[in-house]
Amino acid sequence: MYLPLIPLSYLKNVKVAFYSLNVRLFVPAPLRCFRCQRFGHTSVNCEKPQVCICGKPLRTGSPCTPPIRCVNCDGTHSARSKDCPIYKQEFAIQELKTKENLSYFDAKRKVAAKTPRPNKSYSQVIRPPAPPTININDLVQSLIPHLVKAISHLFLPPPSTSHNLPPYPMARSYDESDRQSISKRRKSDRSDIESIMSETPSNSETKRKKKKRVGQKANQEKL
């Protein structure tokens, strides 16, 4: 059968048969290691040396003898005493964790904020730590060499590659023999053009021959 979760503030008692039983919040006992006698973990994963509840090395066959020292608060009581201030703090963490359904670390932080400390106010305890101060001038001075190295290729000319290029041919200067050969070539070209023009009939002669052929054709038609 499904039973809905009812807040503890509304649930004062429950009826079992003919009895009305009061209900209270169950707070688990603080977690204490049976190996090193410290709070917050179990002996399954503990690698610290074994210690007795009286603060002395673990032994068998002999009871605890004074002086007794708590390994948690260094007080004159055993590690399992409920008068230990560390035990009371751990119990307050478990109680707040159960009431407000928090994680162990969140509950521990809240309890530590509420615990009075000498020479510190409540606002100083709960105030978050201030961020570390940074000297802007030192930061800029340390970054300048890196910035110069990163952008130096944008301002420096590219490396010369002239030694890898083939030699460029230089222009040759003309002498007197070159000028004479050019002059002779021009004269021969001019004479060739004149000979071609002389072989081509002029326009007037062409018209005269054409007119003569037309006249001969007209005389033949008359006959």
Tell me: the pLDDT tens digits for 201-213?
A: 555 666 677 667 7
The answer to whether the CB of 86 falls within 8 A of the CB of 39 is yes
The answer to whether the CB of 23 falls within 8 A of the CB of 32 is no
pLDDT the model gives residue 16 = 83
pLDDT the model gives residue 146 = 82
Distance (Å, whole) CA 97 – CA 199: 125
pLDDT the model gives residue 74 = 87
Range with the poorest average pLDDT among 34-43, 168-177, 190-199: 168-177
The model's confidence at residue 187, banded by pLDDT at 50, 70 and 90, is confident
The model's confidence at residue 57, banded by pLDDT at 50, 70 and 90, is confident
pLDDT the model gives residue 170 = 56
pLDDT the model gives residue 2 = 47
pLDDT above 60 for 51: yes
The answer to whether the CB of 2 falls within 8 A of the CB of 10 is no
Tell me: the pLDDT tens digits for 72-125?
A: 888 889 888 888 989 999 999 999 988 888 888 888 888 888 776 655 555 555
The answer to whether the CB of 48 falls within 8 A of the CB of 36 is yes
101: Cβ–Cβ under 8 A, 6 or more apart, which residues? none
Q: What is the mean pLDDT of residues 42-51?
A: 88
Q: What is the mean pLDDT of residues 9-27?
A: 79
Mean predicted lDDT score pLDDT of the chain: 76
Residue ranges of domains in the chain: 29-115
Predicted TM-score of the model (pTM): 0.46
Tokens of 169: 């041919």
Distance (Å, whole) CA 223 – CA 220: 5
The model's confidence at residue 1, banded by pLDDT at 50, 70 and 90, is very low
Q: What are the helix (H) ranges across the chain?
A: 85-100, 104-114, 122-126, 136-151, 176-199, 203-222
Answer with the residue of higher pLDDT: 106 or 199. 106
Tell me: the pLDDT tens digits for 65-74?
A: 888 899 988 8
The model's confidence at residue 56, banded by pLDDT at 50, 70 and 90, is confident
